[in-house]
Chains A and B, each alone.
Chain A
Amino acid sequence: MSEIANEAIVVENLRKVYSSNGVEAVKNVSFSVHYGEIFGFLGPNGAGKSTTIKTIIGLLRPTDGKIYLDGVDVLKHPNRVRMVKGYSSQESSLDDRLTAYENIFLQGKFFHLSNEKIEKRSKEVLEMFGLWERRKDLIESYSGGMMKRLDIAEALIHRPKILFLDEPTLGLDIQTRHSIWNYIKKLREEHGMTIFLTTHYLEEADELCDRVGIIDNGKILALDKPGVLKSQIGGDLITMTFGNEKEKVNAFLEKLKTVKDVKSVNALDNNVYSLVAEKNGDQLIPKVFSVAEKEGISIESIRLKRPTLDDVYLTYTGKTIREAEGSREEAAQQRVTMRRIRR
């Protein structure tokens, strides 16, 4: 009970079977999201990310399970959480024949805000997302990145405590993606907002999320801080070469093994040696240098390789996330193009 009251989102044994085709999109999923946290679901197309979000925010009825938002049982009291949650869907859900301001004004009206409130707040959020100058332009003239920014800005008009972002950077180029990340970070830093996002970009989960759930086939396969997930499958790897004869090096390696946070030391081919760090490989490098100095070892080269979420993903799902994704990117891009040529 206390857990429910102290968490922004609590999901217990959530199951969703679509009645239209009998697909079990979400299979007995449980997790919770802390207040002020950026929490992410990482998974490929069809993993059940959108279905989970839509069920939590009330667009879909769960087949089974419990959902609490801000301590409220949403299935029992849907009306109490209406103003608590903001949602920006995977599609860019803007009316492209209206201006940005008209779009956000209507959104405000659909949340039953007064004209004064809408005027004040839309200025606030449009300025925050760098769109105030372009507010009178039709969405038709907006780029994909601007549309996404407006989408997120709209979702904030009623000042929700918890923001749901379904694939906020789908189909955007790298620079645009980085700029969206900065806006999302700003929301948390300046407004302490709780954010639940889904993504199939590993970099995005890594860069943004405090905790990540890896989801595939409607199940959470792993859930933790990105760093922990990475260290679980093996810590940071330091590879080195030396300018000394073998005996001296071996003695040095024995010494290295006693250093804190060193998990193991191994000889690879071609006189390359590797060191697996328990954690914080970057902080181990200076220690390696100081031991080397004492032992009279000259380090010729040293490199740090950290495992990526890619490696994590591969470990848990048995496939790389990119394998399934090519066609998806294209589809997203096609949708954007379709909007443009529709006229």
Chain B
Amino acid sequence: MKYLLEDTYYVALRELKKYFRQKTRLLMTLIQPFIWLTLMGNMMTGLTNNPIAANFLGTGNYLTFMTPGIILMTIMFTSIFSGMSIVWDRRIGYLDKLLAAPINRAAIPFGKMLSAAIQGVIQAGIIVVIAVILGVRFQTGILGILVIFIIAMMVAFILGGISLALAAKIKTIETLMAIVNMLTMPLMFASNALFPTNVMPSWLKAIVKINPITYAINPMRSLTVTGWSSSIIANILIIFAIDILVMLWTNWVFVNAVSE
């Protein structure tokens, strides 16, 4: 227990060093949201010119409506691949080296989750800057943006954890990729990230309600579009609870998977 924080820090540091070293990947995290925002923004302005649609979205600017969705989508597509690093570490023997060291074993998944969370904040930051350049105004200002960053971090932490737990069991990268891809699509589209719930059929609405991504989108959207409200806290608490559960679950799966 004594070394849990320290070990977690160094496991995360390793991942982050590599993250910052990969220039092309960093550039992609810049370009991708830019393309999304400009492309989707342009495509959808026709929609927002319609006053009824604008009413549904809660804003006359589809970009503003979309920005939280783009933030979450970008984070999701990165953090859900965290597990790959465990599969790779196992294959090259790095995992054995870690396990042979006197580190707290929980630090291995937690460190990787922490790294995913930090990458999440960086991506959220980049997207916010791009959005502001493209004319999006955040209703709750700097403070609201900070809260958006915290939510981004918590979501990346959850998805990183899920990915790591899967990866601890699955030992080939190909299988992991297939499962992860199968997971991300429904998480994204069965949420209110890209379209308001009001326009969805009722069966989809039901799914949206149990999708954890929804509880991240809701407060983010309030912070961006409508302003402060008490539901923001409620949603953040739900996300936080999921964080804790995922942490416990991932650690449990990981420790079981590495003890033979």
- A-to-B contact residues, CB < 8 Å: 18-20, 54, 57-61, 79, 82-83, 85, 87, 89-98, 102, 106-107, 109-112, 154, 339
Q: Which B residues are CB-close (under 8 A) to A79?
A: 102
Give the CA-CA distance A21 to B6 in the complex, in Å: 36
Give the CA-CA distance A18 to B92 in the complex, in Å: 21
* B201 at interface by CB-CB < 8 Å: no
Q: Which B residues are CB-close (under 8 A) to A97?
A: 18, 21-22
What's the dominant secondary structure at chain A's contact region? loop
Inter-subunit contact B260/A20 (CB<8 Å): yes
* B101 at interface by CB-CB < 8 Å: yes
Give the CA-CA distance A59 to B93 in the complex, in Å: 12
Residue B92 contacts which of A20, A98, A107, A339 (CB distance < 8 angstroms)? A339
Most buried by B among A59, A61, A93, A110: A110
Q: Which B residues are CB-close (under 8 A) to A83?
A: 102
* B3 at interface by CB-CB < 8 Å: yes
With both chains docked as a complex, state the minimum distance between the C-beta of B13 and any C-beta of chain A, in angstroms: 8
Inter-subunit contact A112/B3 (CB<8 Å): yes
Asked whether A91 and B92 contact (CB < 8 A) given A98-B17, A112-B6, the answer is: yes
With both chains docked as a complex, state the minimum distance between the C-beta of B183 and any C-beta of chain A, in angstroms: 24
Number of interface residues of B (CB under 8 A): 24
Give the CA-CA distance A102 to B102 in the complex, in Å: 19
Q: Which A residues are CB-close (under 8 A) to B91?
A: 91
Inter-subunit contact B97/A61 (CB<8 Å): no
* B178 at interface by CB-CB < 8 Å: no
* B209 at interface by CB-CB < 8 Å: no
Give the CA-CA distance A208 to B99 in the complex, in Å: 28
Q: Which A residues are CB-close (under 8 A) to B259?
A: 61
With both chains docked as a complex, state the minimum distance between the C-beta of A28 and any C-beta of chain B, in angstroms: 19
Inter-subunit contact A111/B21 (CB<8 Å): no
Inter-subunit contact A59/B94 (CB<8 Å): no
Asked whether A95 and B93 contact (CB < 8 A) given A61-B260, A110-B98, A112-B6, the answer is: no
Contact mask for chain B residues 243-260; partner A; CB cutoff 8 A; 1 contact, 0 none: 000000000000000011
Of chain A, the residue at the smallest CB distance from B260 is A60
Inter-subunit contact B94/A94 (CB<8 Å): yes
6 interchain pairs (CB within 8 A)? Answer: A93-B96, A95-B14, A106-B14, A107-B97, A107-B101, A110-B103
With both chains docked as a complex, state the minimum distance between the C-beta of B204 and any C-beta of chain A, in angstroms: 40
Q: Which A residues are CB-close (under 8 A) to B22?
A: 97
